[in-house]
């Protein structure tokens, strides 16, 4: 049993602890080591009210994806497309080349641990932080090693690998990974891409890549795929189908290879 004196002492300790924590949090002065270009991008972020739909470090809206680590997963081609013509629910903003470069600089410089963490990041994309990053690393390694693809073309295996690599590049510059998960159907019903080449005839697959399947929830690709892009993407899908077992095993191994220092986690930043 606590005596009245001990209860008062316990309450005083709790109040003091709360005061110390509050002081640590609000005295955590942080500078903004942003370049001039990144500062221009921040002005655009604020002017267009991007935080209404997107989050940075856990703050913002939920209609669009969290952009804390967007620089790690969205390449320049895809970013320019998003900022100029939009995608899905995101409206076209008609950014100029200079504005797109400024926004890219802002996203890139905000994706740095010394500024803060808006999500619990278990490693980095280069260390296999998740299934998608691990999948892309596994594909890159397989293509680099010259792993054979599907049906061999008359031009030989080197040409097959080159075309599959071009298809992989086309895949990465579009938001395919927003709906399609590696080696399984996604919760929104997007199919496993490693099985698509065997499920659809070439002409049907070509039509899907050109027009999407709007009635089934798949919009037309943005930016659009021309005939050469579609041929390359089909070669990539055949490559996935031909090497599914090896790529799935490599993806699982890379996704499990994570390094994280729990001591470096700023616990007070997470509620």
How many structural domains compose the chain? 2
Q: What is the pLDDT of residues 228-244, one digit of tens each?
A: 999 999 999 999 999 99
197 pLDDT higher than 70: yes
pLDDT for the residue 246: 94
Spell 241-259 as b/e; 16+ CB within 10 A means b: bbbbeebbebbbebbeeee
Q: Is there a single domain that holds both residue 165 and residue 108? A: no
**Cβ neighbours of 89 (radius 10 Å):** 8
CATH number for position 69: 1.10.760.10
Please check whether residue 269 lies inside any domain of the structure.
no
pTM as predicted: 0.54
**Residue after which a domain boundary falls, among 59, 90, 114:** 114
Among the residue ranges 36-45, 161-170, 172-181, 232-241, the one predicted with the least confidence is 172-181
- In this structure, are residues 232 and 166 in contact, taking their beta carbons and an 8 Å threshold? yes
Please check whether residue 55 lies inside any domain of the structure.
yes
Helix (H, G, I), strand (E, B) or coil at 92: coil
Q: Is there a single domain that holds both residue 136 and residue 232? A: yes
Q: Which DSSP category does 31 fall into?
A: -
Q: Is there a single domain that holds both residue 110 and residue 151? A: no
> Domain range holding 210?
125-256
Angle at CA of residue 26, ends 20 and 28, nearest 5°: 100
Q: What are phi and psi of 218, to 5 degrees?
A: -100, 115
Q: Is there a single domain that holds both residue 101 and residue 137? A: no
Q: Is there a single domain that holds both residue 144 and residue 232? A: yes
Please check whether residue 223 lies inside any domain of the structure.
yes
Beta strands in the chain (DSSP E): 55-56, 59-60
Rounded distance between C-alpha atoms, residue 123 and residue 125, angstroms: 7
Beta bridge partners of 213: 218
Q: Helices 227-242 and 202-211 sit at what angle, rounded to 10 degrees?
A: 120
User: Where does 112-220 have alpha helices with state H?
Assistant: 131-144, 157-172, 196-199, 202-211
**Residue after which a domain boundary falls, among 61, 85, 114:** 114
Q: What are phi and psi of 265, to 5 degrees?
A: -75, 125
Q: Is there a single domain that holds both residue 97 and residue 211? A: no
Please check whether residue 21 lies inside any domain of the structure.
no
Please check whether residue 147 lies inside any domain of the structure.
yes
For residues 97 and 112, the model is more confident at: 97
């Amino acid at each position: 049993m606590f005596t009245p004196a001990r209860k008062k002492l316990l309450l005083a300790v709790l109040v003091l602890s709360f005061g110390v924590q509050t002081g640590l949090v609000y005295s955590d002065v942080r500078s903004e080591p942003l370049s001039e270009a990144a500062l221009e991008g921040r002005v655009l972020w604020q002017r267009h009210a991007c935080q209404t739909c997107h989050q940075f470090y856990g703050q913002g809206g939920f209609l669009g994806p969290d952009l804390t680590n967007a620089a790690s997963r969205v390449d320049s081609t895809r970013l320019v497309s998003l900022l100029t013509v939009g995608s899905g629910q995101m409206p076209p903003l008609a950014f100029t080349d200079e504005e797109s470069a400024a926004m890219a600089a802002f996203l890139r410089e905000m994706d740095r641990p010394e500024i803060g963490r808006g999500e619990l990041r278990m490693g980095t994309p280069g260390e296999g932080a998740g299934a998608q990053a691990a999948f892309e690393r596994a594909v890159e390694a397989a293509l680099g090693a010259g792993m054979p693809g599907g049906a061999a073309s008359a031009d030989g295996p080197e040409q097959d690998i080159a075309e599959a690599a071009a298809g992989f590049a086309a895949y990465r510059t579009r938001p395919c990974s927003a709906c399609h998960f590696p080696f399984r159907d996604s919760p929104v019903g997007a199919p496993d891409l490693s099985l698509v080449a065997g499920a659809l005839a070439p002409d049907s697959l070509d039509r899907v890549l050109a027009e999407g399947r709007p009635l089934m929830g798949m919009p037309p690709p943005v930016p659009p795929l021309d005939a050469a892009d579609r041929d390359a993407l089909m070669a990539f899908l055949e490559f996935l189908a031909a090497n599914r077992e090896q790529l799935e095993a490599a993806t699982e191994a890379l996704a499990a290879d994570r390094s994280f220092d729990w001591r470096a986690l700023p616990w007070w930043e997470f509620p």
